[in-house]
Amino acid sequence: MIAWLRNPWARPRALVVVTGAYILWSLLPVALAVMFAFNAGRSRTTWQGFSFRWFTSQVGVFHDPALQSALKHTLLLGVICVAVATPLGVTLALGLQRWRGRGAGTVNTMMLLPLVTPEIVMGVALLLLFLKVFPGLGLGTVPQAIGQVTFTLSYVVVIVRGRLVSIGKEYEEAAADLGAPPHDQILRVVLPLLAPAIVASAAVVFALSIDDFVVTQYLSGAPSTTTVPMLLYASARGAPTPALNAIATVTLVITLATLSLAFLVYRRFAGGGDAAVVAAMEM
Amino acid sequence: MQSRWTWRLLASPGVLWLSVFFLVAFYAVVAVAFGNQDTFSAPVPFWKPWDWNVGYMLAVLRDLWSGGQYLTVFVRTFVFVAVSLALSLLIGYPVAYYAARHVHGRWRGIVLVSLILPFWINYLMRMLAWINLLSPDGWATKVLHWVGIDHVFIWLGLLANEGGWLDGQPSTVILALVYGYVPFLILPLYASLDRIDQRQIEAARDLGAGPFSAFRRVTLPLSVPGILAGSVLVALPMFGDYYTPDLVSASPKTNIIGNQIDELTRQGSEKVTGASLTLVLSAAMLVLMVYYLRTTRAAGAEATAEA
């Protein structure tokens, strides 16, 4: 401390310790949970040696029917959500970026609202919507996918707009000067420039979908529409085996692999880090 | 020059989607809250405002006014969120400050990735990790006992008995909320501290301010917008949480407003009362939401102007 007072530009030791301790505290418990996925015994608290049994045995992630079904349903919702939310968000971002005048502010606010609405409010709202306005659909896969698209859409818009701002209007104007009609300006000039941001937002949507709990739980129906986070919620306090840690580990690996891949693609093709988009991805 | 309608047309699918699945959905909460229920206690929404039945909403408000169960739960929610937020700032600010102002070179990337990583680890998996560690024979329980922290907690009245971390302790719920939401606070704090112009701090130092007074009079005030934005960003999901108390406590003694709404709507058959409580919660959150939207819109306009 005294050394720091004498030379304020030196490394403040106390802050190093606090930051180091924080990182350890935030990541070590999860690392231990991953480690217990490879426990040879049935305990999630006592280490009994290393084994792959909670992945490969009959009661492991890759064979147990309930775990299998949860994993498949989680990935299915992720794929649907990416397929719907990405195009919807990209067109909304393009439209909002150039839409001047009446209505633009309102739509912009409506687009940002899902980002700040407590998820339980969205869960209750969508549940009542599907019970009372679209009762024919029932609860399950379709409502779950719709609910996830509704809150992931805004992330796509934020990421794509970040990129649109950094591209600027020059390319489009050049294309217009060279006689390209509007649809060609979008399809042949803007979209290719947006490609890295589209990949990034698709990855973020996939990760958000896989990790989502509240909306997915509120809109779930039959047991076959249980996802991995729902399974974790339902059995974390029971007396399950490390298979629970194993299935959490599998989803964690899928999420991190998707995001890392998208990040590399983005860095490779967007010409260096693009602060706005990277910040949005971190959001 | 393109027709103004091109852009509106392009935006229309997204606008339509949000109108139906966000706005109409929210109106469904209003219609149910001001509706009635049939003999099987299923909700019957009243869509037209002139048909509204205010009975259920009045019952909720009367309970809040007269200090009934909902008031107890609301007060508990505010206390849990306030304490968790204060602890989160205490932990998060120094970490964000260090990451933004003192880490350089290769370490910066490593520190940033470590700070972002919890973001993309499933919240429920992070809770599962602690449930395993804090169970009676868990490693954290053993370490806390060995260091003597459990006795300090028992002495302070924050823990009922040794190894009972998961038996409905408010202190455990608060620590779990802090663990769960701190990462979401650190990033906005980091962003605002990173944006501060180093020259302003150097100027304060050159003018004779000591390091502490430079921090107190320059860095801290300049980071206030980040502190507020980050606090709102984590307070909103905390107010809507129900799974954290469910997982680390599972006792009605630690129920917060999210648990109450969840019990009435998703699990239970009192959806009309649940919808009324959801509206009360939304109204209470409105100030926070409007504040956050205003600041992000200002930041967005700035970014557009710079580009």
pLDDT, tens digit, for every residue of B258-286?
A: 999 999 999 888 999 999 999 999 999 99
The answer to the question of residue A24 being in a domain is no
CB contact under 8 A, A248 and B303: no
d(CA B115, CA A201): 20
A132 vs B45, B123, B296: nearest CB: B45
Minimal Cα–Cα distance from A270 to chain B, Å? Answer: 16
Q: How many CB pairs under 8 A join A and B?
A: 282
Question: CB-based burial of residue B257 (10 Å sphere; 0-12 exposed, 13-18 middle, 19+ buried)?
Answer: buried
Query: What SS3 state is found at B158?
Result: coil
Distance of CA B298 to the CA centre of its chain: 22
pLDDT, tens digit, for every residue of A79-138?
A: 999 999 999 999 999 888 877 777 788 888 899 999 999 999 999 999 999 999 998 888
Pair B177, B84: CB distance under 8 Å: yes
pLDDT, tens digit, for every residue of A188-226?
A: 788 888 888 999 999 999 999 999 999 999 999 988 999
Residue of A nearest to B126 (CA): A30
The answer to the question of residue A138 being in a domain is yes
Number of structural domains found in chain A: 1
CB contact under 8 A, B4 and A119: no
Pair A122, B241: CB distance under 8 Å: no
From chain A, the residues in CB contact with B208 under 8 A are none
**DSSP class of B48:** S
Q: Is B77's pLDDT higher than 50?
A: yes
A88 vs B14, B97, B140: nearest CB: B14
The answer to the question of residue A39 being in a domain is no
Task: Give the rounded percent of residues in chain B with a pLDDT score beyond 90.
Answer: 55
Minimal Cα–Cα distance from B126 to chain A, Å? Answer: 6
Which of A28, A99, A120 to probe the B interface (max B CBs under 10 A)? A120
Q: State residue B108's pLDDT score.
A: 87
pLDDT, tens digit, for every residue of B47-76?
A: 989 889 998 999 999 999 998 999 999 999
- Rounded to two decimals, the pTM is 0.90
Domain that holds residue A67: 61-282
Convert A17-39 to b/e letters by CB count within 10 Å (16 or more is b): ebbeebbeebbebbebbbebbbb
CB contact under 8 A, B166 and A237: yes
The answer to the question of residue A33 being in a domain is no
CB contact under 8 A, B307 and A146: no
Minimal Cα–Cα distance from B66 to chain A, Å? Answer: 25
Q: What is the ipTM score, two decimals?
A: 0.91
Residue of B nearest to A104 (CA): B8
Q: How confident is the model at residue B40 (pLDDT cuts 50, 70, 90)?
A: confident
Q: For the domain that residue A66 is a member of, what is the CATH number?
A: 1.10.3720.10
Per residue, the 3-state secondary structure of chain A, as one string, reads: CHHHHHCCCCCCHHHHHHHHHHHHHHHHHHHHHHHHCCECCCCCCCCCCECCHHHHCCCCCCCCHHHHHHHHHHHHHHHHHHHHHHHHHHHHHHHHHHCCCCCHHHHHHHHHHHHHCCHHHHHHHHHHHHHHCCHHHCCCHHHHHHHHHHHHHHHHHHHHHHHHHHHCCHHHHHHHHCCCCHHHHHHHHHHHHHHHHHHHHHHHHHHHHHHCCHHHHHCCCCHHHCCHHHHHHHHCCCCCCCHHHHHHHHHHHHHHHHHHHHHHHHHHHCCCCCHHHHHHHHC
Q: State residue A273's pLDDT score.
A: 47
pLDDT, tens digit, for every residue of A238-275?
A: 877 899 999 999 999 999 999 999 888 888 877 644 54
What fold does the segment set B67-268 form as a domain? Answer: MetI-like fold (1.10.3720)
pLDDT, tens digit, for every residue of B136-148?
A: 888 998 999 999 8
Task: Give the rounded percent of residues in chain A with a pLDDT score beyond 90.
Answer: 53
Cα angle value A161/A125/A118 (rounded, 5°)? 60
CB contact under 8 A, B125 and A45: no
Q: How confident is the model at residue A43 (pLDDT cuts 50, 70, 90)?
A: confident
